[in-house]
Amino acid sequence: MAKIIVITSGKGGVGKTTTSASLAMGLAQKGKRTVVIDFDVGLRNLDLIMGCERRVVYDFVNVINNEANLSQALIRDKRCDLLYVLPASQTRDKDALTKEGVARVLEELSANYDFIICDSPAGIEHGATMAMYFADDAVVVTNPEVSSVRDSDRMLGILSSKSRRAEMNEEPIREFLLLTRYDPSRVQSGEMLSVDDVQEILALKLLGIIPESKAVLTASNSGTPVILDRESDAGQAYSDMVARYLGDEVPHRFLHTEKKGFLSRLFGG
């Protein structure tokens, strides 16, 4: 039985797809059979971040509509044998995802994988609800900013009332916070909410802090999940996150501004 993880946020553009790609790659590299599904029907871009856009033949909606079977639609990652991508359709709208259809696909995948990562679209409407409905675990991606934190809180309300686990009175979804686009220097100068500020409001288990990083754009330019850029701060922060998710105790990094050299201290960097 696979564990189903939804990457969700409410607010758009906070880093869900970036996170889905890196978490999926990280788990696969740790030997876990992993599939990552793009639930952003109509605005698909997980395949771009994963670098497999030219290999898309069939998509998630084709499988739901029985126009293709799973083995035709799944794309095996070229860098890691254990990782597969199920792309979204570019032309359909989100209503193409039916609860029954999604349930059937997840069930079929469940037999052959350890982890199923669901990359949620933004918002709290149908597409986002479908992505979170069957989840066992949720990673709530949040930026240190008023509207993002507020939307995360609303999403937490939805996870605890509208999910399958909630409706069946089962044990609730495990919820984790991932703070992304964190800029320690702006936190230090009092311009940005700190981890503690956000935690005081959301009170979730902190899975990681991903710094604002140029490496994220560079990685997306080349279709490489940023976790593979081991030199970069964001890549390392994502590696830490994966280890933490799998139960390792890893101290949080990138919380403070780096110590500067004498000259840059003197002139401000």
Partner 1 sequence: MGLLDYFRATQPIANAGSATVAKERLQILVAHDRAARGCPSYLPQLQTEILAVIRKYIDIDMNAVTVSYEQSDAHEVLELNIILPDGPTSSR
Residues that bind ligand ATP (CB under 6 A): 9, 12-18, 40, 121-122, 180-181, 210, 212-213, 216-217, 220, 234
- Alpha-carbon distance 96 to 69, whole Å? 16
- Alpha-carbon distance 235 to 212, whole Å? 11
Residue from 17, 22, 89, 213 binding Mg ion (CB under 5 A): 17
153 binds, among partner 1, ligand ATP, Mg ion, none (CB under 5 to 8 A by kind): partner 1
- Alpha-carbon distance 134 to 244, whole Å? 23
Residues of this chain that interact with partner 1 (CB under 8 A) are 145-146, 149-150, 153-154, 157, 161, 187, 189-194, 197, 200-201, 264-269
Task: List C-alpha distances in Å: 53 to 47, 56, 86, 122, 258.
Answer: 5, 6, 11, 21, 37
Helices 16-29 & 233-245 angle (0-180, nearest 10): 60
Output the smallest distance, CB 147 to ligand ATP, in A: 13
Map residue 181 onto helix, strand or coil.
strand
Cα-trace Rg, the chain:
18
Output the smallest distance, CB 164 to partner 1, in A: 18
Q: Does 16 bind Mg ion (CB under 5 A)?
A: yes
Output the smallest distance, CB 15 to Mg ion, in A: 8
Output the smallest distance, CB 18 to ligand ATP, in A: 3
Q: Which is nearer to Mg ion, 34 or 120 (CB)?
A: 120
Output the smallest distance, CB 186 to ligand ATP, in A: 13
Q: Does 143 bind Mg ion (CB under 5 A)?
A: no
Output the smallest distance, CB 143 to ligand ATP, in A: 9
Count of Cβ atoms closer than 10 Å to residue 168 Cβ:
8
Query: At 90, which helix (H) or strand (E)?
Result: none
* Phi–psi pair at 59, nearest 5 degrees: -130, 180
Task: List C-alpha distances in Å: 89 to 21, 56, 102, 116.
Answer: 17, 10, 14, 18
18 binds, among ligand ATP, Mg ion, partner 1, none (CB under 5 to 8 A by kind): ligand ATP
The stretch near Mg ion (CB under 5 A) out of 16-24, 29-37, 74-82, 244-252 is 16-24
267 binds, among Mg ion, partner 1, ligand ATP, none (CB under 5 to 8 A by kind): partner 1
Is the sign of the CA dihedral 194, 196, 200, 203 positive or negative?
A: positive
154 binds, among partner 1, Mg ion, ligand ATP, none (CB under 5 to 8 A by kind): partner 1
In this structure, what token pair is assigned to residue 111? 């037999």
Output the smallest distance, CB 242 to ligand ATP, in A: 15
Place of tokens 């990083």: 213
Q: Which is nearer to ligand ATP, 34 or 236 (CB)?
A: 236
- Alpha-carbon distance 116 to 28, whole Å? 11
Residues in contact with Mg ion by the rule CB under 5 A: 16-17
